Structure 1
Amino acid sequence: MVPDFAGSHLSFLADILGVPLSTYQQIHRSSGIMSVSLLLFHVLTIIGSRNPFPLQVAENLWGLIGGCSLLLLLLLSNPFLRSFSYEILIRIHQALAIVSAYSIWRHLELKPLVPRIYAYIFAAAFLSTLLLQGFFIHRSQARIVHFEDTIKVELALSRPLKVKAGQYINLWIPSLSFWSIFQSHPFTVASWSDGEQVSLDLFIEPRGGMTQKLLHRLTSGSDSSQPRLDGSLPRLALFSGPHGISAPVGDYETVLMVTSGSGIVAQLPYLKQLIYGYNARKSRTRRVHLVWQLETRETGIAVQSIINEVLSNDAFHILSISMYIRSGGAHLVKIKRKNTVGRDIGSDRSSADPERDTEGVDTVQPPQLVNVHNGSADLEMILQEEMDATLQEAEERGEILVMVSGTDKLRDQLRDLVRTYLDNQMRLLELEYQPA
């Protein structure tokens, strides 16, 4: 049971062990199932012994309370139940964990020292990690804006912070509502820098609870927290982190990034890192292809400034972007590419930055590497094209990394496709953040 009670937050425990959050969540679930299995064995042993079990005895009563708490924990861990109200059920989960831990302590209170040692281990591990976690709490000022149904949070940090590509933070905004002090949510950091950052960018897809409350405050401007004239909502924000493991994407010759909807947020920092690494001769990567499947235009509009920034830094044109939009029109996002002497080219020349449109002189334009399409992406054809291009550009076949942050259907499709290319040095990496 130590993995279940070793700390107040799974992200921090995953960092201590050096494993992804999803891996520690599996450890947490497995440990919980084993604990309940041992509990059932303990109960069956008592029933089989036919010894009396009077509840008037405090030891027996606390044992019953602890056992019921563990059983309820297992039942309420069902993903189907959590889909209705995750925030409420996670607080119930934590409350039941506290009740079960206290009940186990009371149940063992009169036992010999050896059984109680385990309870001491639980308490010591929990208090140690809780104290250590307190040193990783950061204070910041959040500027919150929205683009249709997508929220952008800009955190102005009180001190510079180093965040690696792919890492995330757990964000608290205490003043949002009464219950917000008890609510924290993990969000992938979309911004990236080779050094320390003085501000962090987060993109949020409202689903419910705190995120939906944020969108409501921005659109209604109710109570004393009126939005500023620039459309932003100022808030004091606390966060822990950064958490998570950064993948060594620069070790691959070709990187194919496949994403859908808000999954682009998990790809952006890696995209920036790859472009910087190539320009600074710190990366082996020579080809980067971003395939982005969009249902509607809102997410594209929210991150188009970051995409344009990445394109402007891509001086050697190793990046190509393919956007597939199912509805809303393929002309929605003003994506542009800037060549080495300043000429902007792209799927839409009406740039949001008019000064750059008049910059430079006429030269031979590089090939069009930003393509916007209507419909869905043909992933099988795209994978084959990347394989062929890698063979043509290199005398020796290099390794190909396929990174995905998308829906369950998209990931299932990619798993099946990549499995057929395992002999061709192709690897699939599923990022920690996956959109619903």
Structure 2
Amino acid sequence: MPPIGSDLHRWIAETSLPDLYAICAALILAAWLIYWIGRDVWRWAWRRRHVVFFHPFQSRIRHSWRRFAHVHLPKGMAWLDIPKYRQALVLAVMLAANVFGLRFRTQSWTEAQKRAGSLAVINLIPLCSGVSFGLPADLLHVDRQTLAWFHRWVGRICVLHSILHGSLLVSIARKTTLASPRYVVPIAAGCALILVIPVTCAAVRRRHMQFAMKCHYLLAMTSIGALFYHLVERQSSYRWYLIGAVGLWLFISAVVCLMAVWDQKPWRPSRNEVIMNSVSNFLWLDITMPLNRTIHPGQYVQLWMPRTSFRAFFQLPVFYIAFWEDGPTQRTVRMVAEPRLGLLRKLYHDALHSPSKQPVTVLGPYGHPLNFHRFGTILFVVEDIGFFRALSYIDKLVQASGKREVMVRKLEVIWKRRVGSDGGFLFLTYLRAREPLLLTEYSQGIHHGWMNGCRNF
């Protein structure tokens, strides 16, 4: 019987490098998921047994590396969508892996160009993360912005591979015409992939978010359809990777929808409804959720409101939870949004005439809270609408400090609010509290609707 090492070496030698690239990426992702799921299960079991949870071992080296990874890079790197050292390290690993998969064991430049097409198809798999980043981000224990950043850069790498693979047409055009469907369809797929980058750049997303997302989905569906035709026509084995990517998107989307349906049980007479009000140039939304759905500070939900308009049927806007109140049978969750453009502006104007109420489907809550309990002094520096994202943390710290459950004894909030139509900013609010009693008064003042004044403790 031959040794296992020789069988493994023979299997590696016979397997193509793009396939090895996909297998290694899948193993890394599986190991990451198993680690976080196992850690969550261990924490849950420890809490059940010991009631109070504490970290048995904390390494100073680990925390120092974590602080280094979150340091911001110079402003020029932020323009390139690489804001922190952590993102720069992840991007360097991704580029190195793709370059290695592209050039290792290649005999000619033509072979590398053909291999680029295989890598482009493989890189489509992590792009298919479902209708929402919420559930994948929670499973991977990363925040939504990090997963969106990873999604953008994987898409850019996929476009680079597509351009490199499409350069084969230069030599083909010298021998034959490119007017046949054999070449027109893959050219259309490559053009659709390339157009995704400009329509989803930061400037377009800030001003026309929903338009950018609609163009993104239309171009993505066009490119996947054309690419599937191209792979089937060529009888390429990588069509199964593309089918797997589409199946992954459908599976994650189905799980998200089924979880939302199971939590809300729309077949019951009492359905979830959202109440919208316009107060102080903000859109306030109140929804009711069952008590068995745990909510943590800093989390967000996505609302599907198909009865608002035809456009709203295809949108899942994100709302960060400001605070919540528990009732006898249900929990009331309040969220705040700034009505700038699109659906939020329409909802704001509708609620400006009269408070509106309509059925809603809630996806979430998603997000992992930050742990501030071991700090004695906390300073929040928030800008405009970002104050309400920090409000849930402030409220929990107020309650825990009043009960002497945390080390927090000093809390300061600097709120930088937008003033005027020119988009300028002015420091209007400086809040400070040193004692739990004053913190409690501050929290109660916010819950009673205080918004415009400056209040100092």
How many residues in Structure 1 have an aligned counterpart in Structure 2? 306
Counterpart-to-counterpart distance in 2, 1:257 and 1:197: 30
Shift of 1:233: 1.3
Q: Does 1:171 align with 2:303?
A: yes
Partners of 1:91 and 1:159 lie apart in 2 by 35
Counterpart in 2 of 1:147? 279
SS at structure 1 position matched to 2:407: coil
Matches within 5 A, 1:85-234: 85-112=208-235, 114-137=237-260, 138=264, 140-157=272-289, 160-192=292-324, 198-220=331-353, 227=354, 232-234=355-357
How far does the alpha carbon of each residue in 1:196-250 deviate from its partner, in whole angstroms, 9 at most, with x for none?
9612101111101111101211224xxxxxx3xxxx2111122211112211111
1:61 aligns with 2:184: yes
What is the match of residue 389 of structure 1?
Answer: none
Give the Cα separation in 2 of the matches to 1:141 and 1:277. 31
**2:377 alignment partner in structure 1:** 254
Aligned position for 2:13 = none
The verdict on how the C-alpha distance between 1:283 and 1:109 changes in structure 2, with shifts beyond 3 A counting, is same
Provide the rounded CA distance (Å) in 1 between the counterparts of 2:438 and 2:199.
50
SS at the partner of 2:284? strand
Q: CA deviation at 1:131?
A: 1.3
Deviation at 1:146, TM superposition (A): 1.2
Asked whether the 8 Å contact 2:325–2:331 carries over to 1, the reply is no
| Contact 2:326–2:332 (Cα < 8 Å) also in 1 | no
Deviations 1:16-68 (A, max 9, x none): 21111111111111101101110111011332455656555444232112111
Judge conservation of contact 1:259–1:291 (CA < 8 Å) in 2: yes
Offset, 1:172: 2.2
Cα contact 1:18–1:245 (8 A) shared by 2: yes
Deviation of 1:12 (Å): 2.7
CA distance in 2, matches of 1:97, 1:53: 29
Change (3 A) 1:320 1:249: farther
Whichever residue aligns with residue 127 of structure 1, its letter is L
What code does the residue aligned with 1:41 have?
L
- CA distance in 2 between counterparts of 1:217 and 1:160 reads 32
- Of Structure 1 and Structure 2, which has the larger fraction of its residues in strand? 1
Secondary structure of the 1:176 match is coil
Return the alpha-carbon distance in structure 2 between the equivalents of residues 33 and 277 of structure 1: 45
Task: Report SS of the residue matched to 1:250.
Answer: coil
Q: Contact 2:288 / 2:332 at 8 angstroms: preserved in 1?
A: yes
Per-residue deviation, 1:82: 3.1
1:266 corresponds to which residue? Answer: 389
Q: Secondary structure at the match of 1:161?
A: coil
For residues 194 and 285 of structure 1, what CA distance do their matches in structure 2 show? 24
Match of 1:292 among 402, 407, 415: 415
**Residue matched to 2:130:** 7
Partner of 1:76: 199
Compared CA separation, residues 282 and 55, structure 1 to 2 (3 A): farther
Structure number with the bigger relative contact order (C-alpha 8 A, sep ≥ 6) is 1
Contact 2:189–2:222 under 8 Å retained in 1:
yes
* Closer, same or farther: CA 187–217 of 1 in aligned 2, 3 Å: same
Shift of 1:135: 2.4
Query: Take 1:53 and 1:16, find their aligned partners in 2: how far apart are those partners?
Result: 50
**Secondary structure at 2:233's aligned position in 1?**
coil
Kept after mapping to 1: 8 A contact 2:291/2:326: no
Cα distance change on mapping 1:193 and 1:159 into 2, 3 Å: closer
Unaligned segments of structure 2, at least 5 residues: 1-123, 265-270, 421-430, 443-449
Distance 1:94 1:59, change over 3 A: same
2:323 is paired with a residue whose SS is coil
Amino acid at match of 1:217: D
CA RMSD of the aligned region, Å? 3.0
- Aligned: 1:45 with 2:172: no
| Conserved 8 A contact 2:301-2:363 | yes
Matches of 1:259 and 1:214 in 2, distance apart?
25
Higher relative helix content: 2
Q: Shift of the alpha carbon at 1:70? A: 0.3
Distance between the aligned counterparts of 2:417 and 2:351, measured in 1? 24
> Counterpart in 1 of 2:362?
239
Deviation sequence 1:73-103 (CA, Å, 0-9, x none): 1121222233442212211111111111111
Indicate which of 16, 30, 34 corresponds to 2:139: 16
Check the 8 A contact 2:288/2:330 in 1, yes or no: no
- Calculate percent identity across the aligned residue pairs: 21
Give the residue type in structure 1 aligned to 2:369. Answer: S
